[in-house]
Chains A and B, each alone.
Chain A
Amino acid sequence: RKEVEQDPGPFNVPEGATVAFNCTYSNSASQSFFWYRQDCRKEPKLLMSVYSSGNEDGRFTAQLNRASQYISLLIRDSKLSDSATYLCVEDNYGQNFVFGPGTRLSVLP
């Protein structure tokens, strides 16, 4: 099974900062990707789907670079409530989801 790699962090940023995470994948045939967030001891919650070049939802922007096989997540004007672990997910075409180990974000007051 192919791997998804993420910087585990932690990323410690002040409120209002802009922060970006990258995630690399290895299966060039994969078509869709996702970002999930997971709070401590809770289930992962879907944050964004990334099917083509990118997606934007409010303060969150995800981009897909197929040539370099990475996706990114940008969070603008970060809030305390954004503190969580962000999971990058590759839909390994026909072979189900492969989760990255997660990047931990702490937004500090």
Chain B
Amino acid sequence: NAGVMQNPRHLVRRRGQEARLRCSPMKGHSHVYWYRQLPEEGLKFMVYLQKENIIDESGMPKERFSAEFPKEGPSILRIQQVVRGDSAAYFCASSLYASGGNRDEQYFGPGTRLTVT
């Protein structure tokens, strides 16, 4: 059973360009979460999605960031007009059950390391 997959693993963008990060959850998981980790800092929750629905986007910056999880295909985290401060590791996680109950463990992908030059 393949784990959570993310691509690309490394992404370099110039200031002002767009970054698209992809995440395919574990087989059978329908809950996807995105986190950001700045260098030498902890993980910060960004957004929680189910298929075709954004459940909680309280951690998303108000501008330039968006996320989707379509009926078919991977979840996408999109960052428009990137700035140097967006450089970070972006981790995706998936779970079998929704947050708040038993067996809602989240399993993480290897992350995408975004560097903005």
Which A residues form the contact surface with B (CB < 8 A)? 1, 31-32, 34, 41-46, 49, 51, 87, 91, 93-102
Question: Which A residues touch B107, using CB under 8 A?
Answer: 46
Across the interface, do B99 and A97 meet the contact criterion of CB distance under 8 Å?
Answer: yes
Instruction: List, sorted by A's number, 11 A–B pairs whose CB atoms are closer than 8 Å.
Output: A31-B101, A34-B105, A42-B111, A43-B108, A43-B110, A43-B111, A44-B43, A93-B100, A94-B99, A97-B33, A98-B45
B69 contacts the other chain (CB 8 A)? no
B33-58 toward A: CB 8 Å interface, digit per residue (1/0)?
Answer: 10100000111110010000000101
Across the interface, do B43 and A99 meet the contact criterion of CB distance under 8 Å?
Answer: yes
B2 to A: closest C-beta gap in Å: 14
Across the interface, do A95 and B56 meet the contact criterion of CB distance under 8 Å?
Answer: yes
Chain B: interface residue total (CB-CB under 8 A)? 25
Across the interface, do A101 and B41 meet the contact criterion of CB distance under 8 Å?
Answer: yes
B residues 92-117 in Cβ contact with A at 8 Å = 99-102, 104-111
**Given A97-B33, A98-B45, A99-B42: A43 and B99 interface contact (C-beta under 8 Å):** no
B residues 3-59 in Cβ contact with A at 8 Å = 33, 35, 41-45, 48, 56, 58-59
**Contact for A32 among B45, B56, B104, B111, CB less than 8 A:** B104
B76 to A: closest C-beta gap in Å: 19
